[in-house]
Amino acid sequence: MKRYGFFTVALALFLGACNPSPKTENAGLQTVDQQMADWSNDAVMYEVNVRQYTPEGTFNAFAGHLPRLKELGVEILWFMPIHPIGEKNRKGTLGSYYSIKDYKAVNPEFGTLDDFKTLVDKAHEMGFKVLIDCVANHSAWDNVWMENHKNWYTQDSLGNVVPPVADWSDVADLNYNNPEMRAAMLDAMKFWVSEAGIDGYRCDYAGGVPTGFWEEARLALDSIKPVFMLAEDQDNIELLNKAFHCNYSWTMHHYMNEIYKGEKSVPDIKSYFEQIDSTYPEGSYALQFTSNHDENSWNGTVYERLGDAVKTFAVLSFTVPGMPLIYSGQEVGLNKRLEFFEKDEIDWTHDLTMTEFYQKLIDLKQENPALWNGEAGGRIEFPEDTDHKNLLAFKREKDSNTVVVVMNLSGETVSGTVSPGNQSFTEYFSGSEIQVSGDLVVELKPWDYRVYIKN
């Protein structure tokens, strides 16, 4: 057993011992009014893989799961691409969702446009918000645009249309130097907001599209209704200035995988959030996730990547700044890589104990404003002494609400001394109430965690 005998960690933050990084001028980026929708403040996002969700793989069949998802507590439903899939150069039997044949149509395998509108209406009636994927960087080779608008695509010196990346052989790169193509893409984005009533987009490979287009699109969409915009991107921070509310926390995701393998540790997490604090425009934030469709299919299930720390890192993703994401099936312990180009149904009976676990995490998020998203929540504050490799501690505070998290990010038992002063806390998962006077010694088993809420 490792013991850190002088570890004055997160609870000492109440005494002012923390050293949060002051917000800078965002490294030259201008803060803008993001028109952040109130409904996103405490929201948890849920990614819907329609193809694999039910035996039928349709919108109508998925609708039967809405009551279950309502009980789970998620508020934003993000649907992977709902459009017809290209047949030319198709990968696998059913092809990639991200090879779009028609941006203003619905994949007939999923149902009809009316089916989707009905699903959106039903979701809205139940209190959900609905996002769909926008795949604006590339289209299918047999997209309806290709025959009559070849100049809408990127071409080589011989006039041949090219893919955006050599391995992406099933898609063709769109040419954003062509104003007609840009107008057509914007028209398609406006269509789903005005005609189907969706509430925003998750934008695939957002960094591959000019920032100016996304900013133009945001203005146009907001003129119809305020929308929520998520960028699948981390490197292009300027996307968060005027176009997007949220981007991907790829670094944090990879750190979780690497911590489990012993390649990263607690100081790396602190450094990451210091970087976030100094570079992200005010009000914007990152999506936190332990899995998504790409990670599950190509890099492994959470159980393959995170082993017996699956719950630990789920708790981490729900308590650090950012919006948490749950991928289809995670709430029942999805333990297989879903085929990407074939039919491969989710087993909804695998581990129902994970449903209760995620319900409790969502309640934790929504009942504690300190854990809310963006400016609605509290900033993350680390104690000054965070040299300890495996014992993570941090505080988030908003108004009168305070949440303190202590975690063992290793496979060995560790302990440390916390110094909260005279405070009363409830440990969220056990329900235990503690009155602390002076130091408190915490001992954590491998990958154990404590979430303390100030009473």
Residue 301: is its pLDDT beyond 60?
Answer: yes
203-241: burial string, b at 16+ Cβ within 10 Å, e else: bbbbbbbebebbbbbbeebeeeeebbbbbbbbebbbbbb
130 residue type, one letter: V
Instruction: Report the alpha-carbon distance of residue 239 to residue 224 in Å, rounded.
Output: 21
CA 107, distance to chain mean position in Å, is 25
- Indicate the pLDDT class of residue 389, thresholds 50, 70 and 90: confident
Residue 323: is its pLDDT beyond 50?
Answer: yes
H or E, element range at 63: helix 59-63
Strands 138-140, 171-173: pairing kind: antiparallel
Instruction: Report the alpha-carbon distance of residue 24 to residue 102 in Å, rounded.
Output: 44
Instruction: Report the alpha-carbon distance of residue 362 to residue 101 in Å, rounded.
Output: 37
Strands 323-327, 285-288: pairing kind: parallel
Whether the full predicted model's pTM is greater than 0.85, yes or no, is yes
- Indicate the pLDDT class of residue 434, thresholds 50, 70 and 90: confident
Average pLDDT score over residue span 373-387: 84
Give all domains of the chain, ordered by start, each with its CATH number: 2-9+383-454 (2.60.40.1180), 27-377 (3.20.20.80)
What mean pLDDT, rounded, does the chain reach?
Answer: 91
Average pLDDT score over residue span 300-311: 98
Instruction: Report the alpha-carbon distance of residue 353 to residue 333 in Å, rounded.
Output: 8
Tell me the residue length of the chain. 455
- Indicate the pLDDT class of residue 386, thresholds 50, 70 and 90: low
Q: What percent of the chain is predicted at pLDDT more than 70? A: 89
| Distance linking the first and last C-alpha atoms of the chain | 31
C-beta of residue 303 within 8 angstroms of C-beta of residue 336: no
Q: What is the pLDDT of residues 242-251, one digit of tens each?
A: 999 999 999 9
Residue 22: is its pLDDT beyond 70?
Answer: no
Other CB atoms within 10 Å distance of the CB of residue 104: 14
- Indicate the pLDDT class of residue 25, thresholds 50, 70 and 90: very low
C-beta of residue 279 within 8 angstroms of C-beta of residue 239: no
pLDDT the model gives residue 15: 32
Give 3-state DSSP helix, strand, coil % of the chain, rounded to 5: 35, 20, 45
Question: Which token pair is 192?
Answer: 């789903």
Beta strand spans in 119-275 (E):
129-134, 138-140, 171-173, 200-203, 228-231, 246-248
pLDDT the model gives residue 143: 98
- Indicate the pLDDT class of residue 34, thresholds 50, 70 and 90: very low
Residue 28: is its pLDDT beyond 90?
Answer: no
Q: What is the pLDDT of residues 198-237, one digit of tens each?
A: 999 999 999 999 999 999 999 999 999 999 999 999 999 9
Instruction: Report the alpha-carbon distance of residue 240 to residue 34 in Å, rounded.
Output: 9
pLDDT the model gives residue 392: 93
- Indicate the pLDDT class of residue 414, thresholds 50, 70 and 90: very high
Question: Which token pair is 331?
Answer: 């709430």
Residue 382: is its pLDDT beyond 70?
Answer: yes
Tell me the longest C-alpha to C-alpha distance in the chain.
77
